[in-house]
Amino acid sequence: MGLVLAGCGASDRPRPAGSAVAEDTPSIGADSVTVAASPDSVRDRFVQHGLRPIGSSRREIIASLGEPDSIQAEPVANRYVPGQTDTIFELSYDGLTATIYHVSGGRDILSEVVVSDNRHLRDPAVRIGMPWPEVRRRLGEPWDASDSTFTYQCLSCMGADAPVNIYVRDGVVTAIEFAYYVD
């Protein structure tokens, strides 16, 4: 079982016109997010830094957010080690659910975080309750879409894909999923 994390930084790969990579993303007012920034740079920043840091293991997440409202565990067969059973943990909090892949006898690997409350978001480019047309204006067109799920990826990032799925119901954002590469 290995882990590849998407990383951002300088690369030889050309960036889309008008895009930029922020070294650090401070919390700023929602109205100032897109005034001078292109949708490419806003999108990439949100995909990379939209979630408030919570940690990447059960221990770190509990230290950051406190005891979860509930924890569910599901055993799963390891894809690479015959006979090894790993565990998928789901830690549920008010407005946030973190899913962690735990390698038997090894470490925790954060695989996704679903947010349904703005207090868990760091970058104000997209907010729970925001109208979908405003999200499109700020982030540009999604990389992939269904009737209610819109996927964005960081185009200036190097490494494995770590997409963000934005869930929309009745024309407004209801949840945002930050996915991480786990293999």
Structure tokens at 180: 């991480």
Give the tokens for residue 24.
């650090």
Q: Which of 21, 1, 93, 9 is nearest to 54 (CA)?
A: 93
Give pLDDT tens digits for 4-17: 333 333 333 333 33
Q: pLDDT of 28-81, one tens digit each?
A: 444 444 445 688 889 999 999 999 999 999 999 999 999 999 999 999 999 899
Question: Measured between alpha carbons, how far is residue 64 from residues 55, 61, 84, 106 in Å?
Answer: 7, 5, 30, 21
Please tell me the distance from the alpha carbon of residue 93 to that of residue 50, in angstroms, as a whole number: 18
Amino acid at 17: A
Q: Are 120 and 64 in contact (CB under 8 A)?
A: no
